[in-house]
């Protein structure tokens, strides 16, 4: 068998539900009845919440088995076990709209990774409240939408964003250092399908020039957090975090450079894991099958 995923043949099933005897047997029986062969299976039993999580990557031997038929047939199993679930074709890219302001390190990293095939995403648009990265978008052949935001036009700007999300059939919105606070209503509309990145100094060093503030306090770690967007600013369910060690010899500018590097890495991993259906919601937390 080829090592490359086969369109229409390989799928990922993710699910969560109250823990219950016979659950795994029910899922695997469903796969057997549909000529399924398990390629990878991961599961987690959250005993504190009495909740079970599973990610299963499988192939079907019959190439004519459509995704919608599998979804329909899994319905009774899901209903019997009160399962929250998703089923996707492995090869279908996640349609990802990227938002950016004036810092382009995360945007550039995502564009490069997508162009080289290391991210299974499709980018139908880049949205920004500034025009700084319009040439970069043009170089990658991606439509660029300039949507200015002021206090007076914020509602209109968010309405236009939602229009694009609907028109372009967007699965995921990535805030790649988009320096605008989204309204509570927009956060709720994008629940579970919008990812943000921020430096790890929050909540200690808020506002302007956080790296200068951190340098003055002699921090020893610089890091970043990628999380789902919620109305609670920068407090959504965390997908990924990372840090690098620093010391007294690093200047504020060096801290900025190191911070931007780790921000780009953390965001790209979060986007990758989301696009591969590896991230499952667990209340205010996430379960990440890596």
**Mean pLDDT throughout 274-284?**
96
The gap from C-alpha 84 to its chain's centroid, in whole angstroms, comes to: 19
pLDDT of residue 8: 67
pLDDT of residue 258: 94
Say how far apart CA 189 and CA 175 lie, in whole Å.
Answer: 15
Concatenated DSSP letters for 188-202?
Answer: HHTTTSEEEEEETTT
pLDDT of residue 201: 66
Contact 59, 10 (CB under 8 A): yes
Bigger pLDDT: 129 vs 63: 129
- 234 pLDDT exceeds 90? no
- 3 pLDDT exceeds 70? no
pLDDT of residue 202: 54
Which token pair is 105? 């390190």
**Mean pLDDT throughout 236-257?**
94
pLDDT of residue 244: 94
Q: Strand pairing of 121-128 and 94-100?
A: parallel
pLDDT tens across 76-87, in order? Answer: 999 999 999 999
CB contact set of 208 (below 8 Å; sequence gap of 6+):
none
User: Which CATH number, 3.40.50.720, 3.30.70.260, 3.20.10.10, 1.20.140.10, labels domain 9-89?
Assistant: 3.30.70.260
**Residue holding tokens 């997908």?**
239
Domain span(s) for CATH 3.40.50.170 in the chain: 94-288
pLDDT of residue 210: 83
Worst-scoring range by mean pLDDT, 39-48, 69-78, 202-211, 266-275? Answer: 202-211
CATH fourth-level superfamily of 94-288: Formyl transferase, N-terminal domain (3.40.50.170)
**Mean pLDDT throughout 69-95?**
97
Beta carbons within 10 angstroms of residue 187's beta carbon? 19
Q: Out of 19, 89, 132, 234, pick the active-site residue.
A: 234
Instruction: Label residue 247 by pLDDT band (50, 70, 90).
Output: very high
The angle at the Cα of 108, spanning 281 to 98, to the nearest 5 degrees, equals: 45
**Mean pLDDT throughout 139-151?**
97
pLDDT of residue 209: 80
CA torsion, points 62, 33, 287, 20, in degrees to nearest 10? 180
* Percentage of the chain exceeding pLDDT 70: 95
**Residue holding tokens 């564009």?**
111
Phi, psi of 282 (to 5 degrees): -140, 75
Say how far apart CA 232 and CA 268 lie, in whole Å.
Answer: 23
Provide the H-helix boundaries in the chain.
Answer: 23-33, 67-81, 105-115, 134-139, 154-167, 184-189, 210-216, 252-275
pLDDT of residue 95: 98
Domain span(s) for CATH 3.30.70.260 in the chain: 9-89
pLDDT tens across 9-44, in order? Answer: 899 999 999 999 999 999 999 999 999 999 999 999
pLDDT of residue 2: 45
**Mean pLDDT throughout 207-226?**
87
Indicate if 191 belongs to the active site: no
pLDDT of residue 205: 74
Worst-scoring range by mean pLDDT, 123-132, 146-155, 186-195, 207-216? Answer: 207-216
* Percentage of the chain exceeding pLDDT 90: 85
Average pLDDT across the chain, whole number: 93
């Amino acid at each position: 068998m080829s090592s490359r995923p086969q369109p229409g043949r390989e799928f990922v099933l993710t699910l969560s539900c109250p823990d219950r005897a016979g659950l795994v047997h029910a899922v695997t029986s469903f796969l057997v009845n549909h000529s399924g062969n398990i390629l990878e299976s991961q599961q987690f039993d959250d005993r504190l919440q009495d909740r079970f999580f599973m990610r299963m990557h499988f192939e079907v031997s019959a190439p004519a088995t459509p995704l919608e038929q599998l979804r329909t047939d899994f319905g009774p199993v899901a209903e019997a076990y009160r399962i929250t679930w998703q089923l996707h074709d492995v090869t279908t890219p996640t349609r990802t709209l990227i938002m950016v302001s004036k810092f382009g390190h995360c945007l550039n990293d995502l564009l490069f990774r997508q162009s080289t095939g290391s991210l299974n995403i499709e980018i139908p648009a880049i949205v920004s409240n500034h025009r700084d990265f319009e040439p970069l978008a043009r170089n990658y052949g991606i439509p660029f939408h300039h949507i200015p935001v002021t206090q007076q036009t914020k509602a209109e700007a968010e309405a236009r964003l939602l229009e694009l999300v609907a028109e372009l059939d967007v699965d995921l919105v990535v805030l790649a250092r988009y320096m605008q606070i989204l309204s509570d209503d927009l956060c709720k509309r994008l629940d579970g399908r919008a990812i943000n990145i921020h430096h790890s100094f929050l909540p200690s060093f808020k506002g302007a020039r956080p790296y200068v503030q951190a340098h003055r306090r002699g921090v020893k770690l610089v890091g970043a957090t990628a999380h789902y967007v919620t109305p609670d600013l920068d407090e959504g369910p965390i997908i990924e975090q990372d840090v690098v060690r620093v010391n007294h010899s690093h200047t504020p500018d060096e801290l900025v450079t190191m911070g931007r590097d780790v921000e780009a890495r953390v965001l790209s991993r979060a986007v990758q894991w989301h696009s591969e259906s590896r991230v499952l919601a667990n209340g205010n937390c996430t379960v990440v099958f890596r």
